[in-house]
Amino acid sequence: MKSYQKLEKRFGRLLALREAAGVLHWDASTMMPEGGSSAEARSEQLAALGTVCHDILEDSETSDLLDDAEGLNDLNIWQAANLREMRHMWVHATAVTSDLVEALSKASMRCETKWRSARAESDFNGIKPMLAEVLKLVKESAAAKSEALACSPYEALMDEYTPGLRQDIVDPIFSDIEAFLPDFLKAVLDKQAAAPQPIIPKGPFPEAQQRELGHLLMGTLGFDFSQGRLDISLHPFSGGTPDDLRITTRYDEEDFTSGLMGILHETGHALYEKNLPKDWRRQPVGEARGMDVHESQSLLIEMQACRSKEFLTYAAPLMKQAFKRDGPEWQVDNLYQIYTTVEPGLIRVDADEVTYPAHVILRYNIERALIADDMTLADLPDAWNDGMERLLGLTPPDHATGCMQDIHWFDGAWGYFPSYSLGAMTAAQFFDAALEANPDILLAIAQGNFTPLYSWLTENIHSQGSLLETPELIKRATGKELDAGIFKRHLETRYLT
């Protein structure tokens, strides 16, 4: 067992360094000074950490230890799965050189930092050279990894975020949803138009009051502020570590629902991290099971649980108290109508759950084309606008609400977007299975009690870490393979009945 034990020690050090890099990323998005040479210094720091992590994996001793450990017959199921995940990380790392890792890290940090100001000015031409450098390096990495993984370059990128994900899995699911959406969306919009319109609460809703309400509901969900915090960033995200959770949101003083739903979404991410198996901290098998499962946990909380009438029954009095308001607009039925209103919009993170898949399909089609050299960055704005018009009947008035709205491409995260819609479908399937196992979950949520829901999630999802590969995790938890039909039935039940 010496070879395996050495690997555990080695990967424990590697994942501790990755945690440090994650906190530096969080700081760059929330508290790092904007002027001077801060961004360049942070770029150097993150590149150095990335290179050290890469060197740990690329070291010939790591390869030898993996070979030796894979010949052992006395590993338990957790150790065997840990070894499988170690090998997966090793394959990705050793496919590329340290120089490429360093160059991509620096280019991504510089481009992301520039994006923050360029997006505010809708300046695509200004940031295009930096984005071109990121894309060039991403393509080099994808090409190298595709050889090691025996898949296409774009599939190699998806595999970084959702291990094992391939286009022959994604394409049929997305084609099914794309075919389903137009008629369904029309039926929903027609139904809404025929019904009395909801009364929209009028702002302003001071940021301090929104933050206080967010803190209260995070506590209801189970967030422990002695082990985490909530901050503001341009793009909401969840980061930190399982023992030091960092989430962010952004506030709109004219519409409190956007910031609040961002908080609830990111809390879903954070509580997944918190509840991962403690015995396997800083081991690959103790990590989250891919970004599709991660997104399922945030979307299950935001979309399935916290847009339910039961949750709003609990939350409505707290909203009135936080904003010191009253009136018919704060009644549960009215709030439920607001929270389930479907309206095609330009911004992905603000999209309702009916139109959200269209946003993801657009990005999936574009990034595949860019990675395959079927499109150039010069084509990106027009391709984006054409896709939005085809899928949602909208044309962005500028790049800030168009192809520059997401941080992902500018930060080097290509192949990530499919996880969002796969996560939404997985969320619907998990929630359906949880309710079948315990029909009282929604009754408990109406009382502000999320314990029954989190008991099911912890037992079936969180505590499993990466013990099981994604298809097996879904099948064991729900009794069936991922089924887009469950997601469609959820939409039909919520929006047409």
Whether the CB-CB separation of 216 and 382 falls below 8 Å is answered with no
Whether the CB-CB separation of 67 and 80 falls below 8 Å is answered with no
Instruction: Give Rg (Cα) of the chain.
Output: 22
pLDDT tens for each residue of 72-83: 999 999 999 999
pLDDT tens for each residue of 129-173: 999 999 999 999 999 999 999 999 999 999 999 999 999 999 999
Identify the H or E element spanning 5: helix 2-30
Average pLDDT, the chain: 96
Whether the CB-CB separation of 270 and 245 falls below 8 Å is answered with yes
Whether the CB-CB separation of 56 and 13 falls below 8 Å is answered with yes
Which residues does the annotation mark as catalytic? Answer: 266
Whether the CB-CB separation of 294 and 272 falls below 8 Å is answered with yes
pLDDT computed for residue 349 by the predictor: 85
How far, rounded to the nearest angstrom, does the alpha carbon of residue 122 sit from its chain's CA centroid? Answer: 24
pLDDT computed for residue 238 by the predictor: 94
Identify the H or E element spanning 221: helix 207-221
pLDDT computed for residue 350 by the predictor: 86
Whether the CB-CB separation of 162 and 418 falls below 8 Å is answered with yes
Residue 413 has pLDDT above 90, yes or no: yes
pLDDT computed for residue 34 by the predictor: 80
pLDDT computed for residue 266 by the predictor: 96
**Cα torsion 260, 264, 270, 274: sign:** positive
Q: Long-range contacts made by residues 346-353, C-beta under 8 angstroms, separation at least 24?
A: 346/388, 346/394, 346/396, 346/401, 346/402, 346/405, 347/401, 347/405, 348/405, 348/406, 349/235, 349/236, 349/262, 350/258, 353/299, 353/303, 353/307, 353/424, 353/491
Q: How large is the average pLDDT for residues 84-113? A: 94
Q: How large is the average pLDDT for residues 212-218? A: 97
pLDDT computed for residue 463 by the predictor: 98
**How far is the C-alpha of 61 from the C-alpha of 55, rounded, in Å?**
11
Banded pLDDT at 89 (limits 50, 70, 90)? very high
Q: How far apart are the first and last CA of the chain?
A: 58
Neighbours of 305 (CB within 10 A): 22
What's 202's DSSP letter?
A: P
Whether the CB-CB separation of 170 and 364 falls below 8 Å is answered with yes
**Cα torsion 177, 179, 182, 183: sign:** negative
**How far is the C-alpha of 238 from the C-alpha of 245, rounded, in Å?**
8
Residue 265 has pLDDT above 80, yes or no: yes
pTM above 0.85, yes or no: yes
Q: How large is the average pLDDT for residues 348-361? A: 94
Tokens of 306: 């916290």
